[in-house]
Amino acid sequence: MKPWLKSLKTATAQEGFELAIKLSQKGVEYTQPSEAVRKKLRPKYSRDADSLIAASQLIATNYQTVAAANNYWK
């Protein structure tokens, strides 16, 4: 995969949250590089409450990392 992450620094908390989502998505892409497999599996996990909660938890964890890297936008 080609490099895409240049920095964890963002101008705003909103941009930081969007970066956290992107980090989470990229984690899935690195773990399962086949787009066809991801598309096949998506209908199942997109309707599973536990999977959605796990995805939200991962985004929250990534957001904590981004927030810390940005000194909590102080």
- Average pLDDT of the residues in 3-13: 96
Give the confidence band of 2 by pLDDT, cuts at 50, 70, 90.
Answer: confident
Q: Which two tokens stand for residue 48?
A: 């599973």
- Average pLDDT of the residues in 3-7: 94
The single residue listed with the structure tokens 């984690």 is 27
pLDDT tens profile 34-52: 999 999 999 999 999 999 9
Q: Is the pLDDT of residue 1 over 90?
A: no
Query: CA angle, corner 51, sides to 2 and 27, nearest 5?
Result: 15
Q: How far is CA 56 from CA 17, 46, 51, in A?
A: 12, 12, 9
Is residue 11 a contact partner of residue 69, using CB atoms and an 8 Å limit? no
